[in-house]
Amino acid sequence: MERIYVKKSGPLNGTVKVSGAKNAALPILAATILGTTETILEGVPDLKDISIMIEVIKSLGVEVEHLGKHTLKINAKNLNAYETSYELMSKMRASSVVMGPLLARMRKVINPLPGGCNIGARPIDLHLKGFRALGVDIVEEPGKITASAEKLIGSTIYLDFPSVGATQNIMMAATMAEGETIIENAAMEPEIVDLASFLNKMGARIMGAGTSSIRIKGVKSLSGATHQIIPDRIEAGTFMVAAAMTGGDVLVENCIPSHMKPIIAKLIEAGAEVEVDDDSVRVKGNKIVNPFDIKTLPYPGFPTDMQAQFMALMTISNGTCVMKETVFENRFMHAAELAKMGANINVIDREAIVKGTRSLVGTEVEATDLRAGAALIIAGLVADGTTTISNIYHIDRGYENIEEKFTALGAIISRK
């Protein structure tokens, strides 16, 4: 089994270009199911999760052709199935977003319960609540859900929590529902806005994406469209933290700084210098990391997907930091791995108290989930000796060419 090896590398310096956003590309790939003509998607990251989603839609009769490493030509005119594969769906939780478009297009879906990172229950109850409000009949069986409707009827749906997946799924289902659908307490993430932008290019009528209230006026059919995936704000944030942690000077290109305001604010609080341009961010680290506290929240709050990386930064702060996780209930598994490296972390329920240490020590650690893996790489860059990371398939699910990008910045990192 492959591992990633990271050696103490000194300050990172140089320029890194961010890939397209995984969390935007996945629902947009699912949304191509809705179109009956050709779609061109540009800026699609070359990742394992993306490959799985492509296999999912291909298994339903969608034609997918690679026009280049990051460009896809997709045509769903011959969509001919509504049951998804357990083998594929069990590999990734985000695969459940095919339910909405399948209901809109086929009026039926049989879906195994999804898999993915073990960071909490992440039930799809809110997805199902939204579907029921649109007139969908749902039968739940062990490990499987069957949803069907003679027709979808617009409704007002209040989400108990601003779930990204539920917002995306309901929005896609509602594109071809009769009348108007209103999603209240909707997720406001940039990935929601990107999906709505793509759907509107296909002929949907969606207003309010990016706010807590989204209105969808149903249409009879949707066509294909050409669309550029937004840059990955979490990948950008990961390299920004790496620059701060190593005391480096890194220019992060192809990003949207307005999507990363909480990340930028916390890096400045930690003592880093941050320069913002239209489509880039430059981070200069300081020799001393000031202590800081974080509470994860739905967008526009601090992103839970950056929690692990910032905890790595906390481990070398000049004081005590507090990390509060409010989005997922099981997302501190990396704390035990960082502790193996000499970090002083005390976890109590959803709060981690991190006392900064003078130095970390390289050892054998495990990527317990996608973002935990990124945090361990960052920690390994400043740890004495060599850090050996196993279970790196998690990292490959969300970071494209991660070793090459870090190596170009001066990191000593390899895979074998």
pLDDT, tens only, 359-410: 999 999 999 999 999 999 999 999 999 999 999 999 999 999 999 999 999 9
Q: With contact defined as beta carbons under 8 Å apart, do 56 and 85 qualify? A: yes
The count of structural domains within the chain is 2
Domain range enclosing 45: 20-226
Residues with a catalytic annotation lie at 117
Q: Are residues 34 and 182 in the same domain?
A: yes
Q: Are residues 264 and 141 in the same domain?
A: no
Q: Are residues 8 and 43 in the same domain?
A: no
pLDDT at 354 over 90: yes
Residues that constitute the known binding site for UDP-N-acetyl-alpha-D-glucosamine = 93, 122-126, 305, 327
Q: Are residues 130 and 201 in the same domain?
A: yes
Q: Are residues 161 and 276 in the same domain?
A: no
Last residue of a domain, one of 166, 197, 226: 226
Last residue of a domain, one of 204, 226, 248: 226
Q: Are residues 272 and 389 in the same domain?
A: yes
pLDDT digits (tens, 9 = 90+) for 13-61: 999 999 999 999 999 999 999 999 999 999 999 999 999 999 999 999 9
pLDDT digits (tens, 9 = 90+) for 213-223: 999 999 999 99
Q: Are residues 197 and 248 in the same domain?
A: no
Q: What percent of the chain has pLDDT over 90?
A: 91
Residues that constitute the known binding site for phosphoenolpyruvate = 22-23
Q: Are residues 162 and 310 in the same domain?
A: no
Q: Are residues 52 and 104 in the same domain?
A: yes
Q: Are residues 318 and 209 in the same domain?
A: no
Q: Are residues 169 and 308 in the same domain?
A: no
Last residue of a domain, one of 193, 226, 259: 226
The whole-chain average pLDDT of the chain stands at: 95
pLDDT digits (tens, 9 = 90+) for 246-303: 999 999 999 999 999 999 999 999 999 999 999 999 999 999 999 999 999 999 999 9
Q: Are residues 83 and 161 in the same domain?
A: yes
pLDDT at 121 over 50: no
User: Span 324-344, mean pLDDT?
Assistant: 93
pLDDT digits (tens, 9 = 90+) for 182-221: 999 999 999 999 999 999 999 999 999 999 999 999 999 9
CATH code for the domain in which residue 166 is found: 3.65.10.10
